[in-house]
């Protein structure tokens, strides 16, 4: 299994996990070092897999105005899945946050087949989304660099072990370097997809592994963060220019996704209501029917015979076998034939020949006249004079 296959296997595990939890996933995409070619898998450093998932609310969620989903799921192996309602995620795209925009360019993503045709326009126009607000994108990149600078030597619980080992967190430094490379390319008009891949990947990987001493690392971090800030200041325009095409695409895709989901929810809801009404009706129709337990393949089952007029043991009935002298029989009990027909019959004692015989319950009549009438009616239907 090569690198790409190993990554996709883990991404699939994330997708399957959310699916098992009942989320209606639009797509799930990888976010992190694998998208920049900076992932490492050796005895000293092992890149994990983090993903972001776009999910849909149910129609019920919408009607009851429930809080849109926005949470981070931490798996047992400490990998993260950032789960966001489509409404939240698309607003985040508008804010131009690099960590989210990159999911539109990731080669490691899984799209729900149900929504592929709708969401493909999003990926086809990823550059439009990534350039909705040039100024905001620059501000986000500079802001991210500043955040990483603050975290460089701060003993946060998740990185305290690195601080103790190196005196700083090498991963934060490599992010500062990456943002500096990124903002320069973006400001120069390079395609976003190309901006994601740094020029000197090997150097950044070495930095991430902690090749620099703490003093040199701190100096480099301050220098590059300042340079990133300067690039932002030099290129940001006086007025934010909004790319309306990108906004339109986000709104259109969001609308189509929600419409499809809600139509499906309403259809299923209607079908459930119809089914519930049918069950209620049947329960009313058959509430007084005969039910008894049978054993089949060593399992016990309750059988509803759908027979309302229960035959009484030892009582006499008549067979509709003659229009003058219908045969008199004595009802003994109900009999379940089992395989292959699984038919419910009435076992009776034939008063004429003294034999035990079996008939369908509806063929036994309480009176001679009822048996005669049925006999004549049946013969008439068959065209017999």
Per-position pLDDT tens, the chain of length 385 = 898 999 999 999 999 999 999 999 999 999 999 999 888 888 778 888 999 999 999 998 988 899 999 999 999 999 999 999 999 999 999 999 999 999 999 999 999 999 999 999 999 999 999 999 999 999 999 999 999 999 999 888 888 888 889 999 999 999 999 999 999 999 999 999 999 999 999 999 999 999 999 999 999 999 999 999 999 999 999 999 999 999 999 999 999 999 999 988 888 777 777 776 766 666 665 666 767 666 656 666 676 666 667 788 888 999 988 888 899 999 988 877 766 666 778 888 998 898 999 888 888 899 999 988 898 888 766 544 4
CA–CA gap between residue 145 and residue 138 (Å, rounded): 11
CA–CA gap between residue 84 and residue 57 (Å, rounded): 10
Dihedral angle sign, alpha carbons of residues 109, 7, 70, 19: positive
CA–CA gap between residue 80 and residue 31 (Å, rounded): 10
Return the beta strands (E) in the chain as ranges: 24-30, 51-56, 70-74, 80-85, 109-111, 291-296, 299-304, 316-319, 328-336, 344-350, 356-359, 364-365
| Whether 93 contacts 132, CB under 8 Å | yes
pLDDT at 297: 60
Q: Is the peptide bond before 179 cis (omega within 30 degrees of 0)?
A: no
How many helices (H) and strands (E) are present in the chain, helices listed first? 15, 12
pLDDT at 384: 43
Tokens found for residue 76: 């047992």
Q: Which residues pair with 336 in a beta bridge?
A: 344
Residues 6 or more apart whose Cβ sits within 8 Å of residue 325: none
| Whether 99 contacts 36, CB under 8 Å | no
- The kind and range of the H/E element at 52 are strand 51-56
CA–CA gap between residue 101 and residue 1 (Å, rounded): 29
Terminal C-alpha separation, the chain: 82
| Whether 18 contacts 73, CB under 8 Å | yes
In the DSSP assignment, the letter for residue 362 is: G
Helix residue ranges per DSSP H, 152-243: 160-166, 170-187, 192-195, 201-208, 214-235
């Amino acid at each position: 299994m090569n690198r790409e296959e190993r990554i996709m296997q883990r991404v699939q595990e994330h997708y399957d996990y959310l699916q098992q939890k009942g989320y209606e996933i639009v797509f799930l995409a990888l976010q992190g070092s694998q998208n920049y070619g900076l992932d490492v898998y050796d005895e000293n450093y092992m890149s994990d897999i983090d993903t972001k998932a776009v999910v849909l609310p149910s129609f019920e969620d919408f009607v009851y105005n429930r809080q849109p989903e926005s949470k981070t799921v931490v798996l047992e192996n400490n990998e993260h899945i950032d789960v966001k309602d489509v409404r939240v995620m698309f607003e985040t795209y508008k804010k131009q946050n690099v960590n989210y925009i990159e999911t539109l360019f990731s080669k490691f993503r899984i799209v729900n087949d149900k929504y592929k045709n709708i969401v493909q326009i999003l990926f086809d126009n990823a550059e439009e989304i990534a350039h909705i607000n040039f100024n905001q994108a620059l501000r986000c990149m500079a802001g991210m660099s500043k955040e990483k600078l603050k975290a460089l030597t701060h003993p946060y619980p998740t990185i305290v072990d690195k601080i103790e080992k190196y005196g700083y967190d090498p991963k934060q430094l490599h992010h500062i370097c990456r943002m500096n490379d990124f903002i320069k390319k973006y400001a120069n008009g390079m395609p976003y997809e190309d901006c994601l891949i740094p020029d000197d990947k090997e150097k950044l990987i070495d930095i991430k592994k902690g090749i620099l001493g703490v003093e040199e690392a701190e100096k480099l971090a301050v220098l590059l963060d300042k340079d990133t800030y300067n690039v932002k200041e030099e290129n940001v325009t006086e007025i934010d220019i909004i790319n309306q095409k990108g906004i339109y695409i986000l709104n259109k895709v969001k609308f189509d996704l929600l419409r499809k989901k809600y139509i499906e929810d309403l259809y299923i809801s209607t079908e459930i209501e119809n089914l519930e009404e049918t069950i209620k009706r049947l329960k009313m129709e058959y509430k007084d029917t005969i039910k008894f337990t049978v054993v089949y393949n060593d399992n016990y089952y309750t059988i509803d015979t759908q027979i309302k007029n229960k035959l009484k043991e030892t009582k006499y009935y008549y067979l509709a076998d003659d229009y003058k002298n219908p045969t008199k029989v004595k009802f003994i009990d109900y009999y379940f034939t089992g395989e292959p027909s699984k038919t419910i019959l009435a076992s009776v004692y034939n008063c004429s020949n003294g034999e035990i015989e079996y008939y369908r319950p509806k063929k036994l009549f309480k009176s001679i006249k009822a048996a005669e009438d049925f006999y004549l009616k049946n013969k008439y239907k068959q065209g017999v004079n």
